[in-house]
Structure 1
Amino acid sequence: MSTDLHHVSIAFAEVMKGYASPGASTFEDGAALGRDAGHALSLHVTVRIADLAAFLAEDSHAGTLEGHVESALLGGVCPVQSGVFRLMPDTADLNRKVMYYAVKCVTPAGEPFTFVGRKQVQHDAPLDLWHDTTTLFTNVFRGHINPDQPELAEVWLTGIIGLGVMDFAQVLRGLRATDRKGRTSLEGLLAFGRFFAGKLWDVYGPHLPPAPSQPRRRYARFTTEGVTGANISAHPFATVDGLQLQLTRFRRQPSADVVLVVHGLTSSSDMFIMPEHRNLVQTLLDEGYGEVWTLDWRGSCRFTYNLARSRYNFDDIALFDLPAAMHELRRHIGREARVHMVAHCVGAMTTAMSLAAGLLPGVQSAVLNSVAYTPCVPGWSGLKLALGPWASDYLLGIEYYNPSWRRQPGWSVGKLLAMGADLMHRECTSPECHMLSFMWGSGEPALFNHENMLDVTHDRLGDLFGGVDVHYYRHVHKMVGARNTAVKFEPRNPRYAALPDDYFQAAATLRTPLMLLQGQDNRVFLDSNIRCHERLERIAPGRSRLHVVPGYGHQDIFMGKDAARDVFPHILGFLKEHAHD
C-alpha cells in the first residue's frame, strides 16, 4: 500500500567535532590554530524533516535543527534556539552541492551567536566523497544574524569540524522515517535514500563535460557607462623604461581626498567601473570622494604588453609604473591633496612593494586585497609556477596565456590547452572561466565563487581579463620559495638598485596605514594577507589592519554582484578614518 510522503517525517542525529580559533581566518588556519591551542568545537544536532514530499520537491531541501553547540571558547554548552538544515541543494556550480547547517544560540553568559557551517560536496580530487560529506567548514558569528548574509557580521570563531567513521555509523543507525501514526515507513526510507544517492551521483558519477556556452556581448569593451555623474577624462603618461600607460579621472567635485584604484594582473581598470552592478568607483563618488582615479599599468588587458614574451617582473611595476602614475596624478591634483589607494592582487602587492621602497610618498592610506608582502599559493599552483614558464617558453613555444583561446578560429597549442582545461572543469560552461582557473590559483573555479557573480559578468570574462606573459610567474615562484616573502627578482641587476632586496623587511619603517583585505575562500593567494598581518604585527605593530570577508574569494571582492553591500562598506570605513573631516 502506497504511503503519502507528505505524512512521512525523517529524523537523524549528528555529532560533529573538531577545532576552531577566535577571530576571522581561513577555515584551515582556524582549525590548525585551534588544534594547537586545544580549542575544541562540536555540534550536536538532530535533523528533522516534517514533510518528506515537500522536502524532496522544494529546491532548498530544507529541514530544522535542534540540539546544542559546545566549546570552552563559548562558555560551554549552548542550546540551539532555532536552526536550519539544507541537504545538497543545487549551487551556482554545476558540479557542487552543499550540506548547510545554521543555528542561533546563546552562551551560558547570555551572549547570542550564530553558527554557520557548510559541507562542500564537489568532486575536485580523487576519492574525496568521504571527506566532502563529513567535513563541515564553520564560522561562528557574534549576534543573531541573517546566516545567508554574513559578510558584514563579526566573526567570533573559525574552524573545521566533522564526522568520524563511528560517528557516521551512528547517524545511519539513528536514521528514522515515520508516518503520521508513528510507524516506520520503508517507502520513506527508500525515497530519502534514493534522493541522497542521486545527489551524490550527480556530483561523483562519470559525466561528460558541459558544452561551451555561447554568450552574447551585452556591454562594449572598455565602456565607462558604469559611472554616472562624473566628468571622465583619460590621462596617458610614460614610464622611465619607455611604456605608455594611462590614468582615468572620474571627477564630480573638488576633493581634498583623492582615491587611486589599481587593478590586478591581466585585468584592467574596467573591473572597478562595471555597469552591471554597483561598482567601486561609483560607490566612492557617491560616498563623497569627489575625485577617483583608476590606473592601467603595464599588466592591463587594455594594452598589448602582455601579448608577447618579455622579461618584465613585479620590480618593474613597483619601480616604474606606480611612481610615474603618482607623479602624473600629483600634476593634476596638486601636492596638498591626500591620496588613498585601493589595490588588488598583483596591483596590491606591487603597491606594497613601492610603498616599502619609499617611492610613493604622501599616500595617506592603502587598502590591499588578496596579497601584499607574503604571497602564499596552493600546492597545485606551486607546481604550475615551477614548471609552467619553462614548459611554455621552451617546450610548447607559447608566447602568452590567453583565457579566450578556446573561442579562437583554427588550431593552436593554446587552443588545445584550453580544451584540456574544459575537460578538467565541470563547474560551468565558460571556457574563459576554465582557463582563468588554470592560469591562476587552484579550484573549481579558482578566481571567485560563482554564486557571487552575475551571469552577465561571467559571460564577459574574456573581455575583463586578457593574456599574460609567463615571466611574471617566475617572480611569484621566487617569492614563494623565499619563505613566502616579497623579494626582488634580480638583486644584482643595477636597473633595480633603487629597490630593497626584501620588501617585507623594508616595510618595517613604513608609516602608511594598511588595510589587508582577504576573501575567506581565496583560492589564488590563499591566506596571504592573514599571514602578512601576523608578520607585520611583529615588525611594525599597529601599522596594518586585517579584514576577512566570509563567502568571498579573490576577484569577487570587487567584481561580485553584491560587493557594494558586502565588501565596500569595510573599505569606505577604513578610508574615512584617514580622510579629512
Structure 2
Amino acid sequence: MKLLPIPSRSARRYLARPALTAPNGLRPLRADLDGARIEHFPFRAADGTRLGLARVAPHGDDTRPAVLLLHGHTASAEMFTLPETRNLAAALLDAGYEPWLLDWRGSCRLPYNERGPRYSYDDVSLYDIPEAVAQVRGRIGGRPLFAVAHCIGAMTLSMSMAAGLVTGLAGVVAQGVFLTPKLYGRARLPMHLGTELLRGRMSHQVVDFKRAGLFSKQSLLFALAARGADCPDPTCQILHNSAWGTGASLFVHDNLHPDTHDRLAQLFGPAPFFTVPHLRQNELAHAVTRWNHGDRRYAALPENALDHADRIDCPVLLLSGSQNKLWADSNKVCHEVLTSRHPQLDVRYTEIPGYGHVDPFIGRGAALDVFGHITDFLDTHR
C-alpha cells in the first residue's frame, strides 16, 4: 500500500529503523550502509571534552585510504549516513575508501551546545580536529588519510592546517567555506547586530518549536522565520528561511528527500549564541582568525589563518552550491585569493548548480550531482 506523504508517518518510518547505538552518551547514529558495521572509538580531547569518533568498517579490507568526515556546527556525523538517501559514507565505501566520522564538540549528538563549558572555534581547531586525526592515524598506520569537511568543520580545519597542527593529509575537500568566510548579503546585518541583541537574552536558539514553546523568548525568531514561508513546518522555516535567526538559508527546499525534511529537528540542533562573536570576527575579517588572546593554551594558533595558508601541504578541492545563501561565494573567493597569493598550492574550485549550503551532502540527488566530484578528487590523489 502506498503511504500518503504525511510527515508523521515518514517520521515513524524513520524511527522504526534500527539504531546503531554509540557509547560516550551520544545520541544513537542511524545509518543505512549496506551491512557495513560501525565501530566506535570515543575519546577525550586534551581539555577533557568527550568527543565521538567512529569507523565505517568495510568487510575484511584494511588496505583502503581513510577519509575523515567533518560536519558543520549543530549538525552531526549523521549528515553523512542518512538512511533515506544514497549517503556519502556509502558512496565512499563503494569507491574503495574507509570513512571515519568525527562528532566534534559542536555536534547535535553531543550536549555542549546547550549545557556544559562554553567553547570557541579555537578549541575545535586546537583540540578536536588534530586529536581526531591522531586517533585515526594511530589505527590506520601508514595508509593515506583524506578529510572531507563542511561549513564550520572546514573553517576550523583550515585553522588547524594553517597552525601546522594537521599536516600530511593526502587531500582536503572543503564544502561551503574554508579560509575566507563571507556571509550571504541578507544574513550580514542580522548576524552582526541581531544576534548580539539576542545573546544577552538567551543562550541558544532551538530548531524544534515544540521544545521552544509558544510563549518562550525563542518563539519570536520562529515567528519572524515564518514570514513569507512557503513551507508550513516551523523547523524548516527557521532553517530554510532564517538559519537560526540570521536571515540565511541552509538548503534549497526542493532538494530534500521528504523523510529528511520531516526530521530536520533531529539532523540540526540548537545554535549557541556564545560562538557568535568569534564567527562575527571571522566574517568581518573575511578570514579565519584566533579568538582567544592572552591565553597561552592557544598560542599555537595563528592570529589569522589566511596569513599562514602556505603551510597547507596537500591538494584542496573547494566545493560550493551555486545557491549557497549562507556563505555566498566564500569558496570562490578563497580560490581566487589562494591562487593569487600562494600559486604553489594545488587548489581547485567546483560549483554545484542548483544546490545551497548543506544539501550538497544531505540532498536526495547529491549522490548523482555532488559525490562524484569528491570521489574523483580523492581518486586523483590516493
TM-score by length of 2: 0.89
Amino acid across the alignment from 1:305: Y
Within-5 A mapping of 1:304-319:
304-308=111-115, 311-319=118-126
Higher relative contact order (CA 8 A, sep 6+): 2
Evaluate the alpha carbon distance shift between residue 460 and residue 215 of structure 1 in structure 2; reply closer, same or farther with a 3 A threshold. farther
Shift of 1:491: 3.4
Aligned to 2:14: 219
Shift of 1:512: 1.3
Aligned to 1:287: 95
Aligned to 2:77: 269
Shift of 1:268: 0.2
Aligned to 2:68: 260
In structure 2, the residue corresponding to 1:413 is in which secondary structure? coil
Counterpart of 1:371 (choices 177, 181, 191) is: 177
Greater fraction strand: 1
Counterpart of 1:323 (choices 94, 116, 130) is: 130
In structure 2, what is the Cα distance between the partners aligned to 1:309 and 1:247?
20
Shift of 1:226: 1.4
Aligned to 1:355: 161
Aligned to 1:11: none
Matched-pair contact (CA < 8 Å) for 2:213–2:219: no
In structure 2, what is the Cα distance between the partners aligned to 1:481 and 1:223?
36
* Structure 1 alignment gaps of length 5 or more: 1-211
In structure 1, what is the Cα distance between the partners aligned to 2:64 and 2:298?
34
CA RMSD across the alignment: 1.9
Of 366-375 and 429-438, deviating more is 429-438
Q: Deviations over 1:460-497 (max 9, x none)?
A: 10000001211222112111212x11111133332210
Q: Deviations over 1:357-401 (max 9, x none)?
A: 11112211000000000001123322122223432232xx21211
Q: Deviations over 1:439-472 (max 9, x none)?
A: 35545xx111112111111111000000121122
Amino acid across the alignment from 2:205: Y
Aligned to 2:309: 507
In structure 1, what is the Cα distance between the partners aligned to 2:140 and 2:194?
43
* Structure 2 alignment gaps of length 5 or more: 1-5, 16-26
Aligned to 1:495: 297
Matched positions, count:
360
Greater fraction helix: 2
TM-score by length of 1: 0.59
Aligned to 2:321: 519
Q: Deviations over 1:38-91 (max 9, x none)?
A: xxxxxxxxxxxxxxxxxxxxxxxxxxxxxxxxxxxxxxxxxxxxxxxxxxxxxx
Aligned to 1:130: none
In structure 1, what is the Cα distance between the partners aligned to 2:357 and 2:243?
14
Of 510-519 and 215-224, deviating more is 215-224
Evaluate the alpha carbon distance shift between residue 415 and residue 493 of structure 1 in structure 2; reply closer, same or farther with a 3 A threshold. same
Shift of 1:539: 2.0
Shift of 1:216: 5.0
| 1:338 corresponds to 2:144 | yes
Evaluate the alpha carbon distance shift between residue 226 and residue 486 of structure 1 in structure 2; reply closer, same or farther with a 3 A threshold. same
Aligned to 2:229: 426
In structure 1, what is the Cα distance between the partners aligned to 2:151 and 2:166?
18
Aligned to 2:364: 561
In structure 1, what is the Cα distance between the partners aligned to 2:147 and 2:254?
28
In structure 2, what is the Cα distance between the partners aligned to 1:386 and 1:309?
25
Within-5 A mapping of 1:228-247:
228-247=34-53
Matched-pair contact (CA < 8 Å) for 2:359–2:366: yes
Seq. identity, %: 39
Evaluate the alpha carbon distance shift between residue 519 and residue 543 of structure 1 in structure 2; reply closer, same or farther with a 3 A threshold. same
In structure 2, the residue corresponding to 1:363 is in which secondary structure? coil
Aligned to 2:20: none
In structure 1, what is the Cα distance between the partners aligned to 2:30 and 2:266?
14
Amino acid across the alignment from 1:267: A
Aligned to 1:547: 350
In structure 2, what is the Cα distance between the partners aligned to 1:381 and 1:215?
34
In structure 1, what is the Cα distance between the partners aligned to 2:84 and 2:259?
7
Matched-pair contact (CA < 8 Å) for 2:71–2:153: yes
Evaluate the alpha carbon distance shift between residue 493 and residue 215 of structure 1 in structure 2; reply closer, same or farther with a 3 A threshold. farther
